[in-house]
Amino acid sequence: MKKILALVLAMVMCVAVFAACGKKEEPKPAGTNTDAAVDADDPAAALVSGAFIDPINGWAEYDNLITQIKAETDYAKRTEMMHQAEDILMSNYCVIPLYYYNDVYMQKDYVDGVYSNPFATKFFMYATLSNGSDTLRLNLASEPDFLDPALNSSVDGACLAANSFAGLYTYDAEGKTVPACAEGYTVSEDGLTYTVTLKDGLKWSDGSDLTAADFEYSWKRAVDPKTAADYEYMFSGFAGYDDGAIQVTAVDDTTLEFVLTAPCAYMEDLMAFPTFYPVKKEAVEAAADWETNPGAWCKEAGFVSNGAYVCTGWNHDTSMTYEKNPYFYNADQVSINKLEYMLSADDTAIFAAYNAGDLDFADSVPTDEIAGLQAANNPEFHIVDELGTYYVAFNANSKLFEGKTPAQAACMREAFSLLIDRDYICENIGQTGQVAANSYIPLGMADGNGGIFKANAETGYYDAYAINNDHDATVAKARELLEAAGFTFGDDGKLSADTPIDIEYLTNESTGHVAVAESMQQDFEEIGIKMTIQTQDWNVFLEERKQGNFDIAREGWIADFNDPINMLEMWITSSGNNDCQYGRFEGWDA
């Protein structure tokens, strides 16, 4: 299906910033859900997958399965269970994958040594400049939502955190985990108790000592409900998590000990993740409202950190300045003295600043520039692989589904999915080799058992190219699904006036995201679905998704580490990243 609009690239960031956690369920065996997912008399019941469960009232079954996966010590069985979890997730079509990510950026030829890991975190601290300057000028995004590493859950925020804070581990230029604040660690024979030895002489940016007690405080703070960290569930494999008191102890100034409930193959990745970074207690609690506003301590320049750079200037919504931290454990390897960030989400303005010589690095490219950059083989235009998926999310609690059974609502969402021309989006908007997605877990992700979870693009939950290969049959199937959900069609093949569908699509302001939205808008219009597009400023957009104030929204998730559980556990009921509002029936967190 070809569209009238000339659309180009969807430059996307993994964002999924979301909020406060509900109460934890007691673990139950998978399959014990007693809430009926489908009614035998419901015509939609025959059209949903056998893995389908009610995504609102029956979601405890998914929560319990994730709990079992995280406790499973048989890695082969664990992999099998993760496939089962993805089956459940994909069966309700609240998550509609569009394509698997790669990343593009612009970098001047005199810049060297910038690198990123497969999870889109970019590291600037070991970069060099051959133009005689000691300042790297760059753009990642607009005003950051959070700089507190425990509260951030956006890609640009993770980049800022990685360059201004340091965890026990970090990533090298090859994407491998290496010690940072840690010298190393030992693990008990049963794989549950970790004893980490910290480097001697660690300091905060104010020159005070940084010890194992700072890590103990920071990790316990991250799981404290008052902190409301989106990623607090990353500590769910720690002993004591279910009781609200994870087992992590500072044995002495340079020894940190923590206990898990099951062996964890990706523990070094967790120790390198921002939520596990240390924050200084005295700095955090110096803010007058720190107990009710946990991120207040780092809302302005000058906050204490322990990474390669410290924030010394912040002109909100315009710019940020970071300067070299002389107390950084590896400061002698940092040659660039200053990072100057342009804060903007206007990719046209960013590109103009880059071409004018005002930026050395730009993590955004306008949609209408991609083809020319590629045709010219511009050496400053870079494309790198990532582990992630660009997708569309439905709010399971949207009023769009009022009066529908769980199966009927799933049929509605599947109809939307069938109508999307993913090939067009990849070829004419993405343009950088994106692969149309037919599952949520991305291509190439490890399975946690020595293999690959999804090795090729042919296997998945649907034919990503069906609308291209058999247009008429695919559209007919979409109508069948909607008819099973109670909708009727006129002789023109479009929804009748008696059963219209009017939805609003929520996205942040970006030419690429808007282009994807306009493409889908045309796809849905073919059978009479009316979709309006609402664009919002970045932080407003994040908060609206977080609160579930949307029908359908643009989403993206770049993995935090190379294991499928990262992309599955985010959908448990209490997760701060559960944008689809799974399991959130009225009073769920009461």
pLDDT given at position 64: 97
Nearest 5°: the CA angle 496, 502, 503 is: 150
Q: What is the pLDDT of residues 211-266, one digit of tens each?
A: 999 999 999 999 999 999 999 999 999 999 999 899 999 999 999 999 999 999 89
Spatial contact of 16 and 572, defined as CB atoms under 8 Å apart: no
Nearest 5°: the CA angle 301, 216, 269 is: 80
**Beta-strand (E) ranges in 222-279?**
248-252, 255-259
Alpha carbon distances (Å) from 370 to 141, 355, 432, 556: 18, 14, 8, 20
Among residues 398, 407, 415, which one has the least CA distance to residue 482?
Answer: 415
pLDDT given at position 37: 55
Least confident of 10-19, 33-42, 152-161: 10-19
Spatial contact of 288 and 310, defined as CB atoms under 8 Å apart: no
Instruction: Give dist(CA 365, CA 169) in Å, integer.
Output: 31
| Percentage of the residues of the chain whose pLDDT score is greater than 90 | 86
Spatial contact of 152 and 145, defined as CB atoms under 8 Å apart: yes
End-to-end C-alpha distance for the chain, whole angstroms = 47
> What is the SS3 string spanning 164-227?
HCCCCEEECCCCCEEECCEEEEEECCCCCEEEEEECCCCECCCCCECCHHHHHHHHHHHHCCCC
Spatial contact of 503 and 395, defined as CB atoms under 8 Å apart: no
- Residue 580, pLDDT > 60, answer yes
Spatial contact of 169 and 194, defined as CB atoms under 8 Å apart: no
CATH 3.40.50.1580 fits 131-359, yes or no: no
Instruction: Give dist(CA 456, CA 467) in Å, integer.
Output: 20
Multiple choice CATH, 45-101+385-571, 3.30.460.20, 3.40.50.970, 3.10.105.10, 3.20.20.450: 3.10.105.10
- Binning pLDDT at 50, 70 and 90, where does residue 41 land? confident
Count CA within 13 A, CB hemisphere, residue 456.
2
Give the amino acid at 231: Y
Residue positions counted in the chain:
590
Instruction: Give dist(CA 571, CA 90) in Å, integer.
Output: 12
Q: What is the mean pLDDT of residues 330-341?
A: 98
Q: Looking at residue 530, what DSSP letter applies?
A: E
Beta strands 193-198; 309-315: pairing state: unpaired
Nearest 5°: the CA angle 553, 341, 134 is: 150
Among residues 117, 276, 119, which one has the least CA distance to residue 194?
Answer: 276
Token pair belonging to 171:
């990533």
Domain with CATH 3.10.105.10 in the chain: 45-101+385-571
Q: What is the pLDDT of residues 392-430, one digit of tens each?
A: 999 999 999 999 999 999 999 999 999 999 999 999 999
Give the amino acid at 523: D
Q: What is the pLDDT of residues 64-91, one digit of tens each?
A: 999 999 999 999 999 999 999 999 999 9
| Percentage of the residues of the chain whose pLDDT score is greater than 70 | 93
Instruction: Give dist(CA 210, CA 450) in Å, integer.
Output: 37
- Binning pLDDT at 50, 70 and 90, where does residue 38 land? low
Q: Is 216 exposed, middle or buried (0-12, 13-18, 19+ CB in 10 A)?
A: buried
Least confident of 26-30, 282-286, 403-407, 458-462: 26-30
- Binning pLDDT at 50, 70 and 90, where does residue 40 land? low
Token pair belonging to 59:
């979601």
